[in-house]
Structure 1
Protein backbone atom coordinates (compact mmCIF):
# COMPACT_ATOMS: atom_id res chain seq x y z
CA UNK A 1 0.00 0.00 0.00
CA UNK A 2 1.28 3.46 -0.86
CA UNK A 3 0.64 6.58 1.18
CA UNK A 4 0.47 10.10 -0.26
CA UNK A 5 2.87 11.53 2.33
CA UNK A 6 6.04 9.68 3.19
CA UNK A 7 5.19 6.57 1.13
CA UNK A 8 5.85 2.95 1.99
CA UNK A 9 6.01 1.05 5.24
CA UNK A 10 7.81 1.79 8.47
CA UNK A 11 10.76 -0.40 9.43
CA UNK A 12 8.65 -2.06 12.14
CA UNK A 13 5.88 -2.90 9.71
CA UNK A 14 8.38 -4.30 7.18
CA UNK A 15 9.89 -6.50 9.93
CA UNK A 16 6.41 -7.70 10.95
CA UNK A 17 5.55 -8.69 7.39
CA UNK A 18 8.91 -10.40 6.94
CA UNK A 19 8.25 -12.46 10.07
CA UNK A 20 4.92 -13.65 8.58
CA UNK A 21 6.62 -14.64 5.32
CA UNK A 22 9.32 -16.56 7.21
CA UNK A 23 6.65 -18.41 9.23
CA UNK A 24 5.02 -19.32 5.94
CA UNK A 25 8.40 -20.55 4.66
CA UNK A 26 8.77 -22.88 7.63
CA UNK A 27 5.33 -24.26 6.89
CA UNK A 28 6.20 -24.71 3.20
CA UNK A 29 9.12 -26.89 4.29
CA UNK A 30 6.72 -28.92 6.47
CA UNK A 31 4.56 -29.53 3.39
CA UNK A 32 1.40 -27.71 4.54
CA UNK A 33 -1.26 -26.65 2.04
CA UNK A 34 -1.49 -23.08 0.80
CA UNK A 35 -5.09 -22.49 1.92
CA UNK A 36 -4.34 -23.63 5.48
CA UNK A 37 -1.28 -21.37 5.73
CA UNK A 38 -3.26 -18.41 4.37
CA UNK A 39 -6.08 -18.93 6.87
CA UNK A 40 -3.76 -19.36 9.88
CA UNK A 41 -1.59 -16.35 9.00
CA UNK A 42 -4.65 -14.28 8.01
CA UNK A 43 -3.34 -13.38 4.55
CA UNK A 44 -4.65 -13.98 1.06
CA UNK A 45 -4.16 -17.29 -0.72
CA UNK A 46 -2.65 -15.37 -3.62
CA UNK A 47 0.06 -13.91 -1.35
CA UNK A 48 0.92 -17.35 0.03
CA UNK A 49 1.14 -18.71 -3.53
CA UNK A 50 3.52 -15.88 -4.46
CA UNK A 51 5.65 -16.53 -1.36
CA UNK A 52 5.71 -20.26 -2.08
CA UNK A 53 6.97 -19.59 -5.62
CA UNK A 54 9.71 -17.30 -4.24
CA UNK A 55 10.59 -19.89 -1.59
CA UNK A 56 10.92 -22.64 -4.23
CA UNK A 57 13.23 -20.47 -6.33
CA UNK A 58 15.35 -18.88 -3.59
CA UNK A 59 14.66 -20.58 -0.27
CA UNK A 60 14.09 -18.72 2.98
CA UNK A 61 16.39 -15.91 1.86
CA UNK A 62 13.92 -15.04 -0.92
CA UNK A 63 11.26 -14.34 1.73
CA UNK A 64 13.37 -11.77 3.57
CA UNK A 65 12.61 -8.07 3.21
CA UNK A 66 14.48 -6.27 0.47
CA UNK A 67 14.28 -2.99 2.41
CA UNK A 68 12.30 0.12 1.65
CA UNK A 69 10.98 0.35 -1.90
CA UNK A 70 11.79 4.00 -2.48
CA UNK A 71 13.95 5.60 -5.09
CA UNK A 72 17.57 6.44 -4.36
CA UNK A 73 18.00 9.72 -2.53
CA UNK A 74 20.78 12.21 -2.06
CA UNK A 75 21.83 12.47 1.59
CA UNK A 76 22.44 15.82 3.29
CA UNK A 77 26.19 15.22 3.15
CA UNK A 78 25.99 14.44 -0.57
CA UNK A 79 23.87 17.54 -1.15
CA UNK A 80 26.54 19.69 0.55
CA UNK A 81 29.07 18.30 -1.93
CA UNK A 82 26.57 18.86 -4.77
CA UNK A 83 26.22 22.54 -3.78
CA UNK A 84 30.01 22.88 -3.95
CA UNK A 85 30.01 21.26 -7.38
CA UNK A 86 27.24 23.56 -8.59
CA UNK A 87 29.20 26.53 -7.24
CA UNK A 88 32.06 25.66 -9.59
CA UNK A 89 29.75 26.35 -12.53
CA UNK A 90 28.59 24.30 -15.51
CA UNK A 91 31.80 24.80 -17.52
CA UNK A 92 33.77 23.00 -14.78
CA UNK A 93 31.61 19.97 -15.55
CA UNK A 94 32.08 20.14 -19.31
CA UNK A 95 28.97 22.09 -20.34
CA UNK A 96 29.19 24.73 -23.07
CA UNK A 97 27.55 27.71 -21.37
CA UNK A 98 27.03 29.00 -17.84
CA UNK A 99 23.43 27.83 -17.35
CA UNK A 100 22.39 25.19 -14.86
CA UNK A 101 19.43 23.17 -16.01
CA UNK A 102 17.74 20.32 -14.17
CA UNK A 103 19.09 17.88 -16.75
CA UNK A 104 22.62 19.14 -16.14
CA UNK A 105 22.27 18.85 -12.35
CA UNK A 106 20.89 15.34 -12.96
CA UNK A 107 24.01 14.53 -15.00
CA UNK A 108 26.32 15.80 -12.23
CA UNK A 109 24.50 13.62 -9.67
CA UNK A 110 24.71 10.59 -11.96
CA UNK A 111 28.43 11.10 -12.63
CA UNK A 112 29.35 11.82 -9.01
CA UNK A 113 27.27 9.21 -7.12
CA UNK A 114 25.96 6.93 -9.89
CA UNK A 115 22.39 7.72 -8.80
CA UNK A 116 19.74 7.77 -11.47
CA UNK A 117 17.19 10.43 -10.50
CA UNK A 118 14.41 11.77 -12.67
CA UNK A 119 14.36 15.46 -13.60
CA UNK A 120 11.29 15.91 -11.38
CA UNK A 121 13.13 14.33 -8.44
CA UNK A 122 16.11 16.64 -9.02
CA UNK A 123 13.74 19.63 -8.97
CA UNK A 124 12.14 18.48 -5.70
CA UNK A 125 15.60 17.89 -4.20
CA UNK A 126 16.78 21.39 -5.09
CA UNK A 127 13.53 22.99 -3.96
CA UNK A 128 13.65 21.13 -0.62
CA UNK A 129 17.11 22.59 0.02
CA UNK A 130 16.05 26.16 -0.73
CA UNK A 131 17.06 26.43 -4.38
CA UNK A 132 14.66 28.15 -6.74
CA UNK A 133 14.21 28.90 -10.39
CA UNK A 134 15.98 32.15 -11.15
CA UNK A 135 16.15 34.49 -14.09
CA UNK A 136 19.51 36.12 -14.82
CA UNK A 137 20.16 39.22 -12.66
CA UNK A 138 21.64 41.12 -15.60
CA UNK A 139 20.89 41.20 -19.28
CA UNK A 140 23.30 39.49 -21.63
CA UNK A 141 26.29 41.57 -22.71
CA UNK A 142 25.55 40.65 -26.31
CA UNK A 143 22.07 42.22 -26.17
CA UNK A 144 21.60 45.00 -28.71
CA UNK A 145 19.06 47.41 -27.18
CA UNK A 146 18.68 49.37 -30.42
CA UNK A 147 17.81 46.20 -32.38
CA UNK A 148 15.31 45.17 -29.70
CA UNK A 149 13.52 48.54 -29.81
CA UNK A 150 13.49 48.47 -33.62
CA UNK A 151 11.96 44.99 -33.57
CA UNK A 152 9.29 46.07 -31.06
CA UNK A 153 8.30 49.11 -33.16
CA UNK A 154 8.47 47.69 -36.68
CA UNK A 155 8.34 43.89 -36.70
CA UNK A 156 6.04 43.08 -33.77
CA UNK A 157 3.07 45.17 -35.01
CA UNK A 158 3.24 43.34 -38.38
CA UNK A 159 3.47 39.94 -36.70
CA UNK A 160 0.61 40.79 -34.36
CA UNK A 161 -1.57 42.12 -37.21
CA UNK A 162 -0.87 39.18 -39.52
CA UNK A 163 -3.58 37.05 -37.96
CA UNK A 164 -6.07 35.86 -40.51
CA UNK A 165 -9.02 38.25 -40.51
CA UNK A 166 -12.38 36.60 -40.10
CA UNK A 167 -14.68 37.24 -43.00
CA UNK A 168 -18.45 36.95 -43.03
CA UNK A 169 -19.27 33.41 -44.04
CA UNK A 170 -16.01 31.87 -42.84
CA UNK A 171 -16.25 28.70 -40.82
CA UNK A 172 -14.60 30.26 -37.77
CA UNK A 173 -17.42 32.73 -37.29
CA UNK A 174 -21.11 32.12 -36.93
CA UNK A 175 -23.40 34.28 -38.97
CA UNK A 176 -25.99 36.44 -37.21
CA UNK A 177 -28.86 34.69 -38.98
CA UNK A 178 -27.79 31.16 -38.03
CA UNK A 179 -29.90 29.41 -35.37
Structure 2
Protein backbone atom coordinates (compact mmCIF):
# COMPACT_ATOMS: atom_id res chain seq x y z
CA UNK A 1 0.00 0.00 0.00
CA UNK A 2 1.48 3.28 -1.05
CA UNK A 3 0.97 5.79 1.75
CA UNK A 4 -0.85 9.03 0.94
CA UNK A 5 1.26 12.15 1.22
CA UNK A 6 -0.26 15.25 2.74
CA UNK A 7 2.73 17.57 3.11
CA UNK A 8 6.37 17.48 2.13
CA UNK A 9 9.20 19.94 1.70
CA UNK A 10 12.55 20.38 -0.03
CA UNK A 11 15.12 23.07 -0.63
CA UNK A 12 13.99 26.03 -2.67
CA UNK A 13 14.21 25.31 -6.38
CA UNK A 14 14.23 21.52 -5.95
CA UNK A 15 11.30 19.21 -6.51
CA UNK A 16 10.48 17.12 -3.42
CA UNK A 17 11.25 13.45 -3.96
CA UNK A 18 9.69 10.79 -1.78
CA UNK A 19 11.24 7.33 -1.92
CA UNK A 20 9.20 4.33 -0.92
CA UNK A 21 10.53 0.81 -0.71
CA UNK A 22 9.28 -1.53 -3.44
CA UNK A 23 6.01 -3.37 -3.10
CA UNK A 24 5.99 -6.63 -1.20
CA UNK A 25 3.70 -9.59 -1.66
CA UNK A 26 1.99 -8.95 1.68
CA UNK A 27 -1.65 -8.02 1.46
CA UNK A 28 -4.30 -6.85 3.89
CA UNK A 29 -8.03 -6.70 3.38
CA UNK A 30 -10.58 -4.72 5.35
CA UNK A 31 -14.33 -5.23 5.46
CA UNK A 32 -16.68 -2.95 7.32
CA UNK A 33 -20.33 -2.27 7.96
CA UNK A 34 -21.54 1.25 8.69
CA UNK A 35 -24.57 0.63 10.89
CA UNK A 36 -27.38 3.16 11.37
CA UNK A 37 -30.57 2.99 13.38
CA UNK A 38 -32.82 5.99 14.03
CA UNK A 39 -32.54 7.17 17.62
CA UNK A 40 -29.33 5.25 18.36
CA UNK A 41 -25.66 5.99 17.88
CA UNK A 42 -24.12 4.89 14.61
CA UNK A 43 -21.62 2.06 14.60
CA UNK A 44 -18.76 0.82 12.48
CA UNK A 45 -18.19 -2.92 12.61
CA UNK A 46 -15.00 -3.95 10.87
CA UNK A 47 -12.72 -6.89 10.34
CA UNK A 48 -9.13 -6.71 9.05
CA UNK A 49 -7.48 -9.77 7.53
CA UNK A 50 -3.83 -10.43 6.80
CA UNK A 51 -3.16 -12.74 3.87
CA UNK A 52 -0.19 -15.08 3.40
CA UNK A 53 3.06 -13.52 2.25
CA UNK A 54 3.67 -15.73 -0.74
CA UNK A 55 2.36 -15.49 -4.29
CA UNK A 56 1.00 -19.02 -4.35
CA UNK A 57 -1.79 -18.22 -1.90
CA UNK A 58 -5.17 -19.31 -3.22
CA UNK A 59 -7.18 -16.25 -2.16
CA UNK A 60 -5.86 -12.76 -1.51
CA UNK A 61 -9.08 -11.11 -0.42
CA UNK A 62 -12.11 -11.83 1.75
CA UNK A 63 -13.94 -15.04 0.97
CA UNK A 64 -17.71 -15.41 1.16
CA UNK A 65 -17.29 -17.17 4.52
CA UNK A 66 -15.47 -14.12 5.93
CA UNK A 67 -18.43 -11.92 5.00
CA UNK A 68 -20.81 -14.50 6.48
CA UNK A 69 -18.86 -14.40 9.76
CA UNK A 70 -18.86 -10.58 9.74
CA UNK A 71 -22.65 -10.53 9.26
CA UNK A 72 -23.11 -13.06 12.07
CA UNK A 73 -20.99 -10.90 14.38
CA UNK A 74 -22.90 -7.77 13.35
CA UNK A 75 -26.22 -9.42 14.08
CA UNK A 76 -25.02 -10.43 17.55
CA UNK A 77 -23.80 -6.90 18.29
CA UNK A 78 -26.81 -5.09 16.84
CA UNK A 79 -29.43 -7.55 18.08
CA UNK A 80 -31.86 -6.83 15.30
CA UNK A 81 -32.56 -7.17 11.61
CA UNK A 82 -29.94 -5.91 9.14
CA UNK A 83 -30.55 -4.17 5.85
CA UNK A 84 -27.41 -4.40 3.73
CA UNK A 85 -26.59 -2.00 0.94
CA UNK A 86 -23.79 -3.67 -0.99
CA UNK A 87 -21.72 -2.71 -3.96
CA UNK A 88 -21.27 -5.17 -6.80
CA UNK A 89 -18.11 -6.82 -5.53
CA UNK A 90 -17.96 -10.33 -6.95
CA UNK A 91 -17.84 -11.93 -3.50
CA UNK A 92 -21.05 -10.12 -2.49
CA UNK A 93 -22.79 -11.89 -5.37
CA UNK A 94 -21.34 -15.34 -4.59
CA UNK A 95 -23.97 -18.10 -4.71
CA UNK A 96 -23.03 -19.41 -1.26
CA UNK A 97 -23.31 -15.96 0.31
CA UNK A 98 -26.63 -15.39 -1.45
CA UNK A 99 -27.86 -18.73 -0.07
CA UNK A 100 -26.80 -17.63 3.44
CA UNK A 101 -28.63 -14.29 3.06
CA UNK A 102 -31.74 -15.97 1.63
CA UNK A 103 -31.82 -18.50 4.48
CA UNK A 104 -31.66 -15.74 7.08
CA UNK A 105 -34.89 -13.93 7.90
CA UNK A 106 -32.92 -11.14 9.61
CA UNK A 107 -31.05 -10.00 6.47
CA UNK A 108 -32.30 -7.89 3.58
CA UNK A 109 -29.90 -6.99 0.77
CA UNK A 110 -29.99 -4.14 -1.75
CA UNK A 111 -27.29 -3.82 -4.40
CA UNK A 112 -25.88 -0.50 -5.54
CA UNK A 113 -25.44 0.39 -9.19
CA UNK A 114 -22.55 -1.20 -11.08
CA UNK A 115 -20.08 1.51 -10.08
CA UNK A 116 -21.36 3.88 -7.42
CA UNK A 117 -18.77 4.41 -4.66
CA UNK A 118 -20.35 7.78 -3.91
CA UNK A 119 -23.44 5.93 -2.58
CA UNK A 120 -21.45 3.67 -0.26
CA UNK A 121 -20.88 5.12 3.25
CA UNK A 122 -17.99 2.71 3.89
CA UNK A 123 -16.02 4.26 1.01
CA UNK A 124 -16.09 7.56 2.91
CA UNK A 125 -14.86 5.72 6.02
CA UNK A 126 -11.91 4.36 4.01
CA UNK A 127 -11.13 7.89 2.88
CA UNK A 128 -11.18 9.09 6.50
CA UNK A 129 -8.86 6.23 7.47
CA UNK A 130 -6.35 7.00 4.72
CA UNK A 131 -6.33 10.73 5.47
CA UNK A 132 -5.98 10.35 9.24
CA UNK A 133 -3.86 7.41 10.29
CA UNK A 134 -1.86 6.64 7.14
CA UNK A 135 -0.83 10.08 5.95
CA UNK A 136 2.92 10.68 5.77
CA UNK A 137 3.69 7.28 7.31
CA UNK A 138 6.15 4.70 6.10
CA UNK A 139 5.50 1.18 7.35
CA UNK A 140 8.47 -1.14 7.49
CA UNK A 141 6.70 -4.10 9.07
CA UNK A 142 3.30 -5.59 8.20
CA UNK A 143 2.33 -5.72 11.87
CA UNK A 144 3.02 -1.99 12.16
CA UNK A 145 0.58 -1.30 9.31
CA UNK A 146 -2.06 -3.62 10.79
CA UNK A 147 -1.77 -1.97 14.21
CA UNK A 148 -2.10 1.49 12.65
CA UNK A 149 -5.14 0.40 10.64
CA UNK A 150 -6.85 -0.98 13.74
CA UNK A 151 -6.09 2.18 15.74
CA UNK A 152 -7.43 4.39 12.94
CA UNK A 153 -10.59 2.30 12.62
CA UNK A 154 -11.12 2.44 16.39
CA UNK A 155 -10.89 6.23 16.29
CA UNK A 156 -13.60 6.31 13.63
CA UNK A 157 -15.62 3.60 15.36
CA UNK A 158 -16.03 5.55 18.59
CA UNK A 159 -17.07 8.78 16.87
CA UNK A 160 -20.62 8.35 15.73
CA UNK A 161 -20.58 11.87 14.27
CA UNK A 162 -17.94 10.72 11.77
CA UNK A 163 -19.97 7.64 10.87
CA UNK A 164 -23.08 9.84 10.46
CA UNK A 165 -21.10 12.11 8.14
CA UNK A 166 -20.25 9.07 6.01
CA UNK A 167 -23.97 8.49 5.48
CA UNK A 168 -24.63 12.20 4.91
CA UNK A 169 -21.95 12.27 2.20
CA UNK A 170 -23.94 9.71 0.19
CA UNK A 171 -27.14 11.75 0.18
CA UNK A 172 -29.07 8.68 1.37
CA UNK A 173 -31.46 8.85 4.33
CA UNK A 174 -32.77 6.46 6.95
CA UNK A 175 -36.40 7.16 6.13
CA UNK A 176 -36.73 4.60 3.36
CA UNK A 177 -39.72 2.30 3.47
CA UNK A 178 -39.33 -1.45 3.80
CA UNK A 179 -40.25 -3.60 0.82
CA UNK A 180 -43.58 -5.33 1.32
CA UNK A 181 -43.79 -9.10 1.10
CA UNK A 182 -45.87 -10.32 -1.79
Q: TM-score when scaled to structure 2?
A: 0.19
- Identify the structure with the greater strand proportion: 2
Higher relative contact order (CA 8 A, sep 6+): 2
TM-score normalized with structure 1 length: 0.19
